[in-house]
Amino acid sequence: MRTAFINQLIEEAKANKKIFLLVGDLGFSVVEAFAELFPERYLNVGIAEQNMAGIAAGLAMEGYCVYIYSIGNFPTLRCMEQIRYDICYHNLNVKIVAVGGGFAYGPLGVSHHATEEIGMLRTIPNLVVCAPGDPIETKAITTFSVRHTGPCYIRIGKAGEPLVHKENSLFDLSLGDILEIRNEGEVAIFTTGAMLKYVVDFVEQNEIKASIYSFPFVKPLNKDLLAEIFDSHKKIITIEEHQAQGGFGSAILEVMNDLLEERKLSHLPLVKRIAIPDKFYSVAGSQDYLRKLAGLELSRNMFEI
């Protein structure tokens, strides 16, 4: 996904001279192409992510569309105060890009896990929260973020994430869009971020009749479309590479409750949430290993109603 992001950002920067990229002493073998093409719109600020957020805010006040790029937890958890006060309070045109969300940097341990940031960031006013599911969605989200005036958070995979959408798929994303991957059966799986490919493979390999929806946006969510999906399914399964508290599944439950209170649902579907339990995983291991350790897996019996 990170390659898809930087390639699309380069294309956008060719047409938009206000795009500026800041990195926190990483991205080597990824960001060089941008730096070579636009040296006057690129800056490596070093290992100083909080300062990077402040610099981004200043550049945005001067009219730039600024991208902050660093490893999952560093431009988010480390910079929460700067994101809240410097960027979002002023509703500035800054895009926070976290590469390697979830357990992507699993071999480096808990210090490099980004497993709580969505729950923290989605509570901050003005901030759009995005988690594309494959490289095609990443390109679309990158284009969306350039066109959207205001702060965005974009959580992308580290590298090598396979395609789910067709290679030449081209689509525009509007704020809060939900992508239908397949629509059949009485159970729907909601997934956000890099869990998408796992979900599609599990359903296809086990010949399960179920709908699959990818959520490139965690905030905001399209309430009208969600009401239609809730009404046409008896059970919803949410799956995410994030803590259960405050994450994607929590956001779905919140919307469901609001729709019920607004009398916009004909029935209340069952909801099964798959997310990281309330614990740290203090071991080094691959992303797949840590996902299994945290129970981020589907099983056939989950599709029983």
**CATH code of the domain in which 218 resides:** 3.40.50.920
Q: Are residues 148 and 55 in the same domain?
A: yes
In a domain, 138, yes or no: yes
The torsion defined by the Cα of 171, 298, 292 and 28, in degrees rounded to 10, comes to 0
20-37 per-position pLDDT tens digit: 999 998 877 889 999 999
C-beta atoms surrounding 211 within 10 Å: 20
C-beta atoms surrounding 92 within 10 Å: 21
Q: Are residues 147 and 197 in the same domain?
A: no
C-beta atoms surrounding 55 within 10 Å: 20
In a domain, 134, yes or no: yes
**Residue 110: Cβ-neighbour burial (10 angstroms; 0-12, 13-18, 19+):** middle
Q: Is the pLDDT of residue 159 over 90?
A: no
Q: Are residues 55 and 12 in the same domain?
A: yes
CATH at residue 98: 3.40.50.970
Q: Are residues 87 and 209 in the same domain?
A: no
C-beta atoms surrounding 14 within 10 Å: 11
Give the total number of structural domains in the chain: 2
What pLDDT does residue 34 have?
A: 95
In a domain, 67, yes or no: yes
The pTM of the full predicted model, rounded to 2 decimals, is 0.95
Quick check: bond before 162 cis, omega within 30? no
Q: Are residues 42 and 146 in the same domain?
A: yes
Q: d(Cα 262, Cα 252) in Å, to the nearest integer?
A: 15
In a domain, 172, yes or no: no
Q: Are residues 128 and 208 in the same domain?
A: no
The mean per-residue pLDDT over the stretch 193-214 comes to 97
Where do we find the tokens 């929806």? 213
Q: Is the dihedral of CA 144, 133, 44, 127 positive or negative?
A: positive
What pLDDT does residue 169 have?
A: 77
Angle at 277 between CA 161 and CA 210, to 5 degrees: 55
In a domain, 129, yes or no: yes
Q: Are residues 147 and 218 in the same domain?
A: no
133-143 per-position pLDDT tens digit: 999 999 999 99
CB-based contacts of 278, cutoff 8 Å, min separation 6: 243, 244, 245
Q: Is the pLDDT of residue 271 over 90?
A: yes
Structure tokens at 44: 């490596």
Helix axes 223-231, 248-261, angle to 10 degrees: 80
Q: Is the pLDDT of residue 160 over 90?
A: no
Helices (H), the chain: 2-15, 32-37, 49-61, 80-82, 117-121, 135-147, 196-205, 223-231, 248-261, 287-293
Q: Is the pLDDT of residue 10 over 80?
A: yes
Q: Are residues 53 and 194 in the same domain?
A: no
71-108 per-position pLDDT tens digit: 999 999 999 999 999 999 999 999 999 999 999 999 99
What pLDDT does residue 26 have?
A: 81
Report helix, strand or coil for 259: helix
Q: Are residues 25 and 135 in the same domain?
A: yes
Q: Is the dihedral of CA 184, 188, 194, 200 positive or negative?
A: negative
Q: Are residues 264 and 142 in the same domain?
A: no
Residue 149: domain span: 2-156
The mean per-residue pLDDT over the stretch 45-70 comes to 97
Q: Which amino acid is at 204?
A: E
- Tell me the C-alpha to C-alpha distance, in Å, between residue 68 and each of 72, 119, 143: 11, 19, 15
Q: Are residues 294 and 214 in the same domain?
A: yes
In a domain, 213, yes or no: yes
What pLDDT does residue 278 have?
A: 96
212-269 per-position pLDDT tens digit: 999 999 999 999 999 999 999 999 999 999 999 999 999 999 999 999 999 999 899 9
Of residues 201, 180, 295, 182, the one with CA closest to residue 241 = 295
Q: Which amino acid is at 49?
A: E
Percentage of residues in the chain having pLDDT higher than 70: 100
Q: How confident is the model at residue 161 (pLDDT cuts 50, 70, 90)?
A: confident
In a domain, 164, yes or no: no
Q: How confident is the model at residue 156 (pLDDT cuts 50, 70, 90)?
A: very high
CB-based contact 155:101 (threshold 8 Å)? yes
In a domain, 49, yes or no: yes
Domain stops at, among 156, 191, 220: 156
What pLDDT does residue 113 have?
A: 94
CB-based contact 69:34 (threshold 8 Å)? no
Q: Are residues 60 and 92 in the same domain?
A: yes
Q: d(Cα 246, Cα 182) in Å, to the nearest integer?
A: 27
